[in-house]
Amino acid sequence: MKFDAQNALSRRLRLIADIDAEDEAAVRALPVTHREVDDGVDIVTEGETVRQCCILIDGFTCRYRHTLEGKRQIIAFHVPGDIPDLHSLHINQMDHSFAAMTRCRIGFVPHEAVWSLCLKRPNVAAALWLETLIDGAIFREWIVGLGRLSGASRTAHLLCELAMRIRSVGLAPDNVYRLPLTQNELADALGLTVVTVNRVLRDFKLAGLIDRSRSRLEIKDWNRLAELGEFDPKYLHFRSPIATTGIARQ
């Protein structure tokens, strides 16, 4: 039952907003096409005009752009429950690409269906709008990091953010996460190079902050990592207090 877009979506909306049973029923009535997408595939490409929104049900995706020199900057990561291109509802020409970083299960909902849902259920419209605003809040957080924090702090921040977001969708029983990102991908999100990311992660491991092997990440000292990354989860705007307290014990 977790592997279905309507469920993922209504669960997400409950996480961030106040929606009632009728709203939820309307969400569950959305027409959705499900699709599996392979690791590394572009789901939407920069410049494309889209007529549907994606709901990420399972797997990890990112949004990115390339500079003229061919350097890649990852703009956002997405975990199950996210609606990575909800903004396309109003801006349907994509100004960046959107790709699967693992094998993913994705639900597609036509824009018109979302439109009419918004007209019928203002609460849902508000919740969806809020979802795009949280997206924006995360962008702001990244801007501050990229502009004013050291490579190590940015890395710490990102690890905390991802941990918290993964945790908020119930995918992390304890402080161990599945984080299927290569160091290259981390570097492209952090505005660093692989070499630097590698050294930062090595230092974190030596300092006893994390433990990482392949796609497994264990945060061994949440408090120190969060402090180093100046991480305060308020900007994620989860309503549940559980989701916004430290990882400590749950």
- Judged by the rule CB under 8 A, the positions of this chain that interact with its own copies are 65, 67-68, 71-73, 75, 87, 90-91, 93, 95-96, 118-119, 122, 125-126, 129-130, 132-137, 139-140, 142-144, 146-149, 188-191, 230, 234-235, 237
Asked whether position 37 contacts DNA by CB under 7 A, the answer is no
CB of 147 to DNA, least distance (A): 9
The DSSP bridge partners found for residue 65 are 73
Pick from DNA, its own copies, none: which does 176 bind, CB < 5 to 8 A by kind? Answer: none
Using rule CB under 7 A, residue 182 touches DNA = yes
Q: Is 100 in the site for DNA (CB under 7 A)?
A: no
Q: Which of residues 145-164 bind DNA (CB under 7 A)?
A: 150-152
How far is residue 233's CA from residue 113's CA, in Å, rounded to a whole number?
A: 32
Residue with tokens 């909306």: 13
Beta carbons of 27 and 127 less than 8 angstroms apart: no
Using CA atoms in the order 15, 17, 21, 27, what is the torsion angle rounded to 10 degrees? Answer: -80
Count residues binding DNA (CB under 7 A): 17
**Angstrom distance (rounded) from CA 88 to CA 205:** 40
For the beta sheet containing 52-58, the strands, ordered from the edge strand earlier in sequence to the opposite edge, are 33-37, 104-110, 52-58
Q: In this structure, what token pair is assigned to residue 69?
A: 């020199």
Q: Is 42 in the site for DNA (CB under 7 A)?
A: no
Residue 201 site contact among its own copies, DNA, none (CB < 5 to 8 Å, cut-off depends on kind)? DNA
Residue 116 is a binding residue for DNA (CB under 7 A): no
